[in-house]
Amino acid sequence: MNQGKYPLVMLIDDNELDIFINKKLVEGENFGSRVVIHSSAQSALDYLKKNLASPDEIPNVIFLDIMMPGMDGFGFLDEFDKLDDAVKNKTRIIMLSTSESFKDLNRANQNRYVSKFLNKPLTAAVLKALNV
């Protein structure tokens, strides 16, 4: 098992290609030792709620896509706010978007759980520079 910078990283994205690329990057750049993938915000929330009593299963970093069907990234953040402090204090969220919208950027930057707002796609250079 690789020794990543962070023990557990979660990817939340409905785009299979983005998930594939980001997982390979996170593992290949030793950013995360383990990667948990969710293709919807709701399944990620269900996972977090189910694993409240298992600190090793709570991610250190979440890469969160903004644009998803059903619940979008901002809907996820609204629900994340209702989770146990053990999750909120451990987890840093990085929002990912193809959007050039200043409205999205401002909204993300105003959320206390969002550490960074990055444009897709992730790159090795960006991952190396990230310190969340």
Which alpha helices (H) appear in 29-132, and where do they start and end? 41-50, 73-80, 85-90, 102-109, 124-129
Residue type, 130: L
Q: What is the pLDDT of residues 2-31, one digit of tens each?
A: 578 999 999 999 999 999 999 999 999 999
What is d(CA 14, CA 64) in angstroms, rounded to the nearest whole number? 10
What is the CATH code for 6-129? 3.40.50.2300
What is d(CA 13, CA 22) in angstroms, rounded to the nearest whole number? 10
- pTM for this prediction: 0.94
